[in-house]
Amino acid sequence: MTDSPTPASSPRKPKAAPAAATAAPDAAAPTLTAARADQTLSLDVSAVPGFFKALVDFRFTTFITRRIAGFIYAILLVSIVLAGLVAFFSIVVTGVGLMTGPVNAQPISGILTILGALVLVPIATLVAIVLARMIVEVNVALVAIAENTASLRK
């Protein structure tokens, strides 16, 4: 670092200043090294050799949560929507069965059941989607915190 033209090109500084300037980069070198280590760490984390290799990392130095979070959320979203559709049609069939029962037809109960399905199932599905999104976001945020603080531990 003493060969760089920057310290020699400043004629206004006294002779002690270049010695301090050469000492300053040495003192700043750990900071630069830590910054480079942080960049290297973030590159290493984002460029993991392989997904399956990360799965058998028993020291948990590699995080896969960020890479699979979108996939997990998509699976949760599809599952919640399918469960909502199954619940809706099940409740509607139950309501129709109440209205047209062969022995004890209860048309008022059947209509209320169908109206309840029209109102409550979409609300419950929306709440489940929001909760699933929040759970995935919390997990991704925790992994992001772990990745960002990994450089502080070293």
Three-state SS at 97: helix
Residue 91: which of 66, 41, 125, 46 has the closest Cα? 125
Q: Which amino acid is at 26?
A: D
Task: Tell me if 60 sits within 8 A of 112, measured CB to CB.
Answer: no
CA distance 108 to 53: 60
For the full predicted model, state whether its pTM sits above 0.75: no
Question: In tens digits, what is the pLDDT along the chain, a chain of 154 residues?
Answer: 444 444 444 445 445 444 444 444 444 444 445 445 444 443 344 444 577 777 777 777 778 888 889 999 999 999 999 999 999 999 999 999 999 887 788 889 999 999 999 999 999 999 999 999 999 999 999 999 988 887 787 7
The answer to whether the beta carbons of residues 143 and 66 sit under 8 Å apart is yes
DSSP state of 150: H
